Amino acid sequence: MSTPPTVLVMHEAPHDRSVEELWTAIESHDERIDLRRARSYAETERQIPEAEIVVTRALDDDLLEAATELEWVQALNAGVDHYNLDRMRDRDIILTNASGVHTIPAAEQVLGTMLLFERNLLEGIRRHQRREWRHFSGGELHGSTVGVIGVGEIGGGIADRASAFGMETLGLRRNPERGHDSVDEMFGPDELDALLARSKYVVLSCPLTEDTRGLLDARAFESMRSDAVVVNVARGEVVDEDALVTALRGGEIGGAALDVQATEPLPEDSPLWTLSNVLVTPHMAGSSPKYLDRCADIFLSNYERYRHGEYDAFENRVL
């Protein structure tokens, strides 16, 4: 491949970062790349017909249709539910994702969330706001049990940190025979109820698929401990939110930390805003000052493989 392929950095960067930052993160590593950037949807529409490669966090059907020269999409997210996989597969377009770039921040956020609930710090914050000096007690993560649903890159990072804190770690994945060094016991999909019954912390770090949509429903909440805390850093649709609200209000479970919701932004009239045993964050668990540099590293390593025709060696290849 003699002529460098045209690479378009599209108009949106994740986690409130700028296209300029992403463009610089790539360009500073290799100035020989024919690297272009779009600062708006209109600029993307104008430039995408010439792009052989795009770097983006989403690609709608109109842009995909206009991208007549497109050969490879480097996604800036781990989940690929924002891409028309069937149409991309029909056109033999390569898709790689950013799996792994979220592992450290997301795993640290989950650990911080578990500490927040275990040490009863939500109550501490409320008393601080009321200027109320009155004793309250906290628990210990050491010796408690966490169930990680989805032991991929992020789930494995969560298990590593939970194990370091002396927690019993349970994991659930499609193929339970694939173990993990930090998971004490691995479960298969048909053993979900058993994992839920034993876990004080139920952490969702699985992809959104037809099998996982609505995975935590009313029946699942009935299987949980009354002090269980649901921590969701996966996708909002993995949880039946109406059933979750019912379980929280009725004391069936102890609390929830939701970095993702079924509708984002979370509507102002959602009862999740007012429940005292809920922490809502705006889909930011994967954010990090190192996020774009990590994305650039994945792109650059794959770019070299693309230039040499080593398509089967791509990192994080989805299609």
Which positions are annotated as active-site residues? 235, 264, 283
- Say if CB 36 and CB 7 are below 8 A apart: yes
Torsion angles phi and psi, residue 212, rounded to 5: -100, -10
d(C-alpha 91, C-alpha 87), whole Å: 6
Distances (CA, A) of 10 to 19, 45, 58, 210, 262: 7, 10, 9, 29, 26
- Say if CB 307 and CB 1 are below 8 A apart: yes
Is the peptide bond prior to 267 cis by the omega test (within 30 degrees of 0)? no
Q: Is 36 exposed, middle or buried (0-12, 13-18, 19+ CB in 10 A)?
A: middle
Residue partners of 261: CB distance under 8 A and separation at least 6: 236, 241, 270, 272, 280, 283
d(C-alpha 221, C-alpha 157), whole Å: 25
Residue partners of 113: CB distance under 8 A and separation at least 6: 231, 257, 279
- Say if CB 70 and CB 51 are below 8 A apart: yes
**CB neighbour burial string for 253-272, b if at least 16 within 10 angstroms, e if fewer:** bbbbbbbbbbeeebeeebeb
Instruction: Return the CA Rg of the chain.
Output: 21
d(C-alpha 136, C-alpha 217), whole Å: 32
